[in-house]
Chains A and B, each alone.
Chain A
């Protein structure tokens, strides 16, 4: 049995987990886990600080990659094969419908969770110095998430897909100067057709996922390099509020005197420099507030992962992703709606295509990116940032209201209808 033990040792190469050294080695000798610190602050493990929304978003992305690769084994991005393959996945392929459902519901879930994650980051003021740039990285991840959903929406090649993408890409062509050309590049033609399907497929399975993976790596790296998560707002005492964020300034500490190491030193040190680090640091009296990542942080993340996967699986057993008739360029369904997260946009567009479809969303995205650079109020305590919170809440509310109006209150011909019309129609 020594062989088995030796093989295992050759893989993990750490001390037993019962020891402190083993617990830290588990983290920093492992490529996948070492994005974590060996020890975390207890307060960061509190659910009510992050709601684990960033993690859940990431886990949904993992589900999407896994189920997506499975779906690729049966899917051909051609017309009308694409639609036939969807039918096959639904009725012929073993587990096909279930995998398709999982892929669809995780995609919707990811859009929801990435938005909620952004809200929690905003409300906890976690985009403030030194995290400004990570917020911007986040905004790009948000856009990429929408892009993934949007490109995926076309792939079933049914009526829903075809018209949502026709309407969606026509919105873009209202952009001054480059709109028409951009749309043509995206579609590889003048209207949504075979080349558009192929291009959306390439974006959906190769370009955008790679971009998300790369940016997620940057995002996680920055969370660590910004000093780990921000402190929960309820921990910010009045007098500390400022001290904790005035960081990154050159320190006035005297130069360190470096003594020669003892003979039995077992650590390597790259360089000793003076000055304050750019991230929040743990003061001496906070030392005892930290615990080993193993098992505390990992256990909670595993629970979040299990909960995410179980929820998606349960949803996929109960509800099936829609599949309408084969795409028919001649016949527009009435009403023709974009994917739900763009219905707020479509609502605006139904009033003015240029203002609602191009100017308003562009301003929204720019405003989001500029948030950490405009809001220079250093305090993260909610009491000190009433206006920021009000403005952001209005922004969120407007988006939600527009989406609800577009989804439930718009019927044939985009006329206003009472929402129960859809329930009755849905029951047919």
Chain B
């Protein structure tokens, strides 16, 4: 075998081997990434507007959201998931703030951080009126805290 062809075969072999390793690794990562998530949908209906009282927000445990309904202002939906490490925050009507049980973050009622380790305010989700008259919340769509749905 000539020296030239030995080198080029060697280089080709080397490249093939490492590409195979790279492709296999990528395949492993892709394999571990679920193609379907059997998780609750991110957009869902939460009921009729009339179901929600005025005053302190309603906590929906399974969806982990707080539904605010204010007179003349309309509906707003806040995430109940603390932006620090994901614990569920509790709303205290007494001081009108969200308190996180895990590391003590406190959020005022527009969701912004008052103190504690949370890096960002609570998220607000888009809420719309579905055709059947129910409220529809989409957790994929984050909106500014001032967002309101007038019904």
Which listed residue (B29, B62, B85, B104) contacts A167, Cβ 8 A? B85
**B104 contacts A415, C-beta separation under 8 Å:** yes
Whether A189 contacts B102 by the Cβ 8 Å rule is no
A188-B34, A332-B87, A336-B87 known; A349-B117 Cβ under 8 A? yes
Contacts of B45 in A (CB 8 A): none
A352 touches B101 (CB 8 A): no
Residues of A in contact, count (CB < 8 Å): 32
Contact status A335-B102, CB under 8 Å: yes
B44-69 interface mask toward A, CB cutoff 8 Å, 1 = contact, 0 = none? 00000000000000000110100000
A194 proximal to B (CB < 8 A)? yes
Tell me if A184 counts as interface (CB < 8 A to partner B): yes
| Chain B residues with CB under 8 A of A353 | 84-85, 117, 119
Question: Is B18 in the interface zone, CB < 8 Å from A?
Answer: no
* Residues of A contacting B64 in the complex (Cβ-Cβ under 8 angstroms): 329-330
Q: Which residues on the B side are within 8 Å of A376 (C-beta)? A: none
Q: Which of B33, B87, B99, B102 is close to A185, meaning CB atoms less than 8 Å apart?
A: B33
A-B contact count (CB 8 A): 76
Name the interface residues of A326-354: CB closer than 8 Å to any CB of B: 329-336, 346, 349-353
Complex formed: what's the CA distance from A193 to B64 in Å? 14
Task: Assess A189 versus B85: contact at CB under 8 Å? Given A331-B61, A352-B117.
Answer: no
Nearest to A350 among chain B residues (CB) is B103
Is A331's CB under 8 angstroms from B99's CB? no
Residues on B with C-beta less than 8 A from A415 are 104
A residues in contact with B32, CB < 8 Å: 185, 188
In the complex, what distance in Å separates the CA atom of A184 from the CA atom of B88?
19
Contact across chains for B34 and A167 when beta carbons are under 8 A apart: no
Provide the residues of chain B in CB contact with A350, threshold 8 Å: 103-104, 117
A349 to B33, CA, bound (A): 28
For A412, what are the chain B residues with a Cβ–Cβ distance below 8 Å?
Answer: 101
B38 at the A interface (CB under 8 A):
yes
Answer whether residue A163 sits at the interface, using C-beta atoms and an 8 A cutoff. yes
Q: Is the CB of B117 within 8 A of A334?
A: no
Q: Are A193 and B88 in contact (CB under 8 A)?
A: no
Looking across the interface, which residue of chain A has its beta carbon closest to that of B61?
A: A330
Output the least CB separation between B77 and chain A (Å).
16
* Distance in Å: Cβ of B45 to nearest Cβ of chain A: 18
- Assess the B102–A414 pair: CB atoms within 8 A: yes
| A189 and B101 form a contact (CB under 8 A) | no
Asked whether A191 is an interface residue with its Cβ less than 8 Å from the other chain, the reply is yes
Distance (whole angstroms) from the CB of A339 to the closest CB of chain B: 14
Q: Complex Cα distance A183/B117, Å?
A: 20
CA distance A188 to B39 in the complex (A): 10
Least Cβ distance of B61 to chain A in Å? 3
A166 at the interface (CB under 8 A from B): yes
Q: Which B5-39 residues have C-beta < 8 A from chain A?
A: 29, 32-34, 37-39
B86 beta carbon closer than 8 Å to chain A: yes
Given contacts A332-B101, A334-B101, A414-B103, is CB(A167)–CB(B87) below 8 Å?
Answer: yes
In the assembled complex, A171 has its CB within 8 A of some CB on chain B: yes
Bits for A273-284, please: 1 = Cβ < 8 Å to B, else 0: 000000000000
Q: Does any Cβ of A come within 8 Å of B122's Cβ?
A: no
Residue B76 lies at the interface, judged by CB distance under 8 Å to chain A: no
- As a 0/1 sequence over residues 368 to 411 of chain A, the CB contacts with chain B under 8 angstroms (1 = contact) are 00000000000000000000000000000000000000000000
Residue contact B86 to A413, C-beta cutoff 8 Å? no
- CA of A330 to CA of B99, assembled, Å: 14
With contacts A193-B39, A349-B85, A353-B85 taken as known, whether A333 is within 8 angstroms of B104 at the C-beta atoms is: no
In order of increasing CB-CB distance, the 9 nearest A-B pairs are A330-B61, A334-B101, A350-B103, A170-B85, A414-B104, A414-B103, A332-B87, A413-B104, A332-B88
Interface residues of B (CB under 8 A from A): 29, 32-34, 37-39, 61-62, 64, 84-88, 99-104, 117, 119
Given contacts A167-B85, A349-B117, A415-B104, 18 further A-B contacts (CB under 8 A): A166-B85, A166-B86, A167-B102, A170-B84, A171-B85, A185-B29, A185-B32, A188-B34, A191-B86, A193-B39, A195-B34, A330-B88, A331-B88, A350-B117, A353-B84, A413-B99, A413-B100, A414-B102
A interface vs B, CB < 8 Å? 163, 166-167, 170-171, 184-185, 188-191, 193-195, 329-336, 346, 349-353, 412-415
Supply 26 A–B pairs (Cβ within 8 Å), ascending by A: A166-B85, A166-B87, A167-B85, A170-B85, A185-B29, A188-B34, A189-B34, A189-B38, A193-B39, A195-B34, A195-B37, A329-B64, A329-B88, A334-B102, A336-B87, A336-B101, A336-B102, A350-B117, A351-B117, A352-B117, A353-B84, A353-B85, A353-B119, A413-B99, A414-B102, A415-B104
